């Protein structure tokens, strides 16, 4: 949530439930007429290395391979790196098919699903888990790819 403000000595700032002493001290240091935005975020648990590893080592490569196969490129490709076309606001964009584009595509599709665009790096732990669950379902529905479940006991395997 962003709360926009403009410093004005004649009007005190207030918002329900928030202690403004520290915020007011920061704003008091600003010159009159200075404007800005105050972003309020919930405190979140950072993503686990296991969750990120599962996404980057399992989900993303399977998603990438499925896009290559659907585009008829196979493992090697056909020399045309710009085979993936998406339409945004009626404009056709040709994108290279690489892991970065696949990552962006999954994040973009998920952003449209939840009406909020974030990269995996910007997501908190809960958001990342929801994103990965959505990726698994989306890859199954659109590409018929069954992503293997994460092995919770991977540390104990020989």
- Residue 130 has a pLDDT of 93
- Residue 79 has a pLDDT of 54
The chain-wide mean pLDDT, for the chain, equals 76
- Residue 80 has a pLDDT of 57
Distance CA 2, CA 155 (A): 41
Q: Report yes or no: 139 and 63 within 8 Å, Cβ to Cβ.
A: yes
What is the percentage of the chain residues whose pLDDT exceeds 90?
16
pLDDT in tens, 103-125: 988 998 899 999 988 888 888 88
DSSP 151: -
What is the percentage of the chain residues whose pLDDT exceeds 70?
67
Nearest alpha carbon to residue 7 among 17, 16, 25: 25
- Residue 100 has a pLDDT of 87
Nearest alpha carbon to residue 55 among 110, 103, 112, 104: 103
Is the backbone of residue 128 left (phi > 0), alpha (psi -120 to 50) or beta?
Answer: alpha
Overall average pLDDT of the 84-99 stretch: 74
pLDDT in tens, 30-86: 888 888 777 766 566 777 788 888 899 999 999 888 877 776 654 444 555 556 666
Other Cβ atoms within 10 Å of 123 Cβ, number: 20
Q: Choose the weakest-confidence range: 4-8, 37-41, 49-53, 137-141.
A: 4-8
pLDDT(136) > 70: yes
Q: What is the pTM of this model?
A: 0.60
DSSP, collapsed to helix, strand or coil, labels residue 78 as: coil
- Residue 49 has a pLDDT of 82
């Amino acid at each position: 949530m962003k709360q926009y403000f403009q410093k004005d000595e004649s009007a005190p700032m207030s918002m329900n439930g928030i202690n403004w002493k520290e915020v007011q001290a920061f704003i008091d240091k600003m010159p009159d007429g200075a404007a800005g935005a105050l972003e309020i975020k919930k405190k979140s648990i950072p993503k686990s290395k296991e969750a990120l590893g599962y996404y980057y080592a399992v989900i993303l490569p399977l998603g990438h391979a499925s896009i290559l196969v659907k585009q008829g490129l196979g493992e090697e490709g056909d020399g045309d790196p710009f085979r993936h076309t998406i339409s945004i606001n009626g404009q056709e964009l040709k994108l290279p098919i690489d892991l970065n584009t696949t990552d962006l595509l999954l994040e973009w599709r998920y952003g449209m699903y939840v009406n909020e665009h974030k990269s995996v790096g910007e997501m908190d732990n809960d958001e990342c888990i929801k994103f990965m669950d959505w990726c698994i379902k989306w890859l199954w529905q659109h590409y018929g790819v069954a992503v293997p479940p994460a092995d919770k006991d991977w540390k104990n395997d020989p």
